[in-house]
Chains A and B, each alone.
Chain A
Amino acid sequence: MTSVSKEPRQGPPEQIRAVPVRHYGRWVAAVLILYVAVWAVHSVANNKRFGWDVIGQYFTDDAVMRGILMTLELTGIAMLMGIVGGVLLAIMRLSPNPLISGASWLYIWVFRGTPVLVQILLWGFISALIPKFSIGIPFGPTFADFSANSLITPFVAGCLGLGLNEAAYMSEIVRAGILSVDPGQAEAASALGMSRAKTMRRIVLPQAMRVIIPPTGNEIISMLKTSSLVSVIAVADVLYSVQIIYGRTYQTIPLLLLASIWYLIMTSILTVGQFYLERYFGRGSAQRQTMLERLWTNLRSARPAAKGADR
C-alpha cells in the first residue's frame, strides 16, 4: 500500500503570499495605551508640584551620594550573609541528622515568621536586652567585655537585621535548587568515588544554580529596596538622607521622587547583571540572548529570506 514518491516535481514550489490576519483589537489597545501615555507625560511635565528643578538640584548632592553608597553596602553585606547562611541552612535542612535539620527548621521558623522591620528594631535596641558581650567560656571565666552599644552600631544592627532574615528566605531557595537536581547526578558522582562534600560542591550546587539564580536576583533587587527600612534606626541610606534634607526644606515629594529614581536606576543595573549570571549558569542548556543579540540574529536571518522573496 505504501507509495514511493514518483518523479520529483520541477522547480521549487510557489511561495505562499497570503493576506495576514488583521488584529483590530490590538490596534484599539495600542491607540488607548498611546493616549494614556501622552496624557501621563503631559501631566507630569506640567505639574509644578513634582518639583523637577528641586530633583535636579539635589540629584547628585553629597548626602544623597553617601546614602547611595550606604544602601549598596548594606545590600551587598546583607545578601552575602543571606547567601552564605542560606546555603548552610539548606544543607543542614537536608541532613539526615534530625537535630541538625531541626535547628535549621527552627531558625527559618523564627526569622521568616517575624517582620523584618521588627527584627531590625530589635537589633537596633539590642543593648537594652544584652548590655555587654563577653568573650570567654560559658559559665566559666571571661577574657574580654564589649558594650553592646560600641559593638552593634546602627550599621551593624542593620546588616544583622537584614542579613539574618534574608538567610531564612535564601535557604528555601537553595533547598529548592538542590532538590531540583536529578538524584542520578549524585549517584554518578559517588559511583566515581567522589565524597559527599565534593559531590555537593562540584556536581549538585553548580546545577542547582540554574534554579537558584533567578529568585536570588529577585531577592537582591528586593533587598536593595527593603534596606530602606534601616532608616528607622538612623542608618544614613538613600531614604534617610533625603528624609534629612526634606526635614530641613519641606520639599517632601520631590525628594522622595529623587530617592525613587535612584532606586530605579540601581535595580535596572542589577536586572542586567542578573541576565548575564543566568546565562553563565545555564551553560549546557538552551542559551538565552540579550534583546540586542536577538535583534541582530533576527536581522541576519531575515535578510536572505527577504532577498528570496524579492526574486
Chain B
Amino acid sequence: MLLIDCPYCGKRPEVEFHCGGEAHIARPETPTAVEDADWGSFLYYRTNPKGLHAERWLHGHGCGRWFNALRDTVSDAFVATYEMGKPRPDRDATAASTSSNA
C-alpha cells in the first residue's frame, strides 16, 4: 500500500485516497470546434509513461481535497505532491522541494 503525502494533511495510507488519473489535461474550450481526432485524444489518450507521471489524487477519507502528485511508475515512489492549479514541478525542483519538506 502506498503512503501518500497529502499537501494539506501529511502522510496518510493509500486507502484514504482515490486516484483521479493523469493531471494537466485541459478540456478543449470549444468542443464543437475540435476535430474528431483531437477530441478522441482528449478523451482517451493518456501519457502512460514508464517513469515520472503527474496525476490527480483525492483525499476523500481525509480533507476531501484534490491535489496533484508526481510519482515514478517503476518504483511507485512519490516524488512530489502539489496543489491543484500549480504547474508540474520539474525534476530538479522536486528533488530540492522533497528534501526540504522531509
Do A and B associate with each other?
no
